Structure 1
Amino acid sequence: MIPPASPAFDIRSRHDRDWVILTVTGDLDRSTAERLKAAVRTVWKVEPAGLVLDLAAVSFCDSAGLSALVYVLRGCQALDIGIALAAVEPRVERILSLTRLLSAFDRYQSVEEALDAGGDGQSSGSP
């Protein structure tokens, strides 16, 4: 069952080149993690070359949010779809770093950098 929508949470999708960009706004937590997973499943159906998660407007991520990100990562890997994180907010980056998830993703300062890199694995994010 998908939890009720959080009024401050939103996911917007757009296409650029052969990639899909999901811009996530709001907290990524127990009440919103299923919405991210559902949005990504929709993306997988169009079989893009890659997926960029724009996290610039995500300032909080709990264990359910981390689980959703692992789900996205594993699904993209299984489907051979590139995955990148863009503009990760410092507090979320710290959580990802503490859980050692940050190193599993290519990450970039902006969506444009991620698209320019095209999933070549050359992350310009901080270590």
Structure 2
Amino acid sequence: MSITVTGEIDLVTTEFLKGEFSQALDPTPTSVVVDLNAVDFCDTTGLSVLVGLNNRCVADHIALRVLPSARIHRLLLRTGLSNLLPIR
């Protein structure tokens, strides 16, 4: 399963993104790739959604891979989430 996210991940868009992630995980896939290469901005609510997705994938034994844009990769490094999220 592959999910491509574009634009901004913020308070306005996170509910939609949570719904998309929920649909992608039902029925439970063996793996999920989240492509963030076209994401320009991500705030703390967006980071929370990504952490929640990671937690669900760990709990359900789903292989998760996150493909961040350069900007999002720097954000994940600065926040320490690059150690938690399986980024490539």
Q: Secondary structure at the match of 1:25?
A: strand
State the partner residue of 1:103. Answer: 83
Q: Kindly state the Cα deviation for residue 41 of structure 1 after the two structures are TM-superposed.
A: 0.9
Residue 22 (structure 2) aligned to one of 28, 35, 41: 41
Q: What is the rounded CA distance, in whole Å, between the counterparts of 2:14 and 2:37 in structure 1?
A: 17
State the partner residue of 1:84. Answer: 65
Equivalent residues of 1:33, 1:64 under 8 A apart: yes
Task: Count how many residue pairs are aligned between Structure 1 and Structure 2.
Answer: 88
State the partner residue of 2:33. Answer: 52
Flag structure 2 segments of 5+ consecutive residues without an equivalent. none
Identical-residue share of aligned pairs (%):
35
Runs of at least 4 residues off by over 4 Å: none
Q: Kindly state the Cα deviation for residue 105 of structure 1 after the two structures are TM-superposed.
A: 2.1
Compare the two structures and name the one with the higher strand fraction.
2
Equivalent residues of 2:36, 2:66 under 8 A apart: yes
Q: Secondary structure at the match of 1:59?
A: strand
Q: Tell me which of the two structures has the higher relative contact order, counting C-alpha pairs closer than 8 angstroms and 6 or more residues apart.
A: 2
Compare the two structures and name the one with the higher helix fraction.
2
Q: Secondary structure at the match of 2:8?
A: coil
Q: What is the rounded CA distance, in whole Å, between the counterparts of 2:36 and 2:12 in structure 1?
A: 17
CA RMSD of aligned residues (A): 1.0
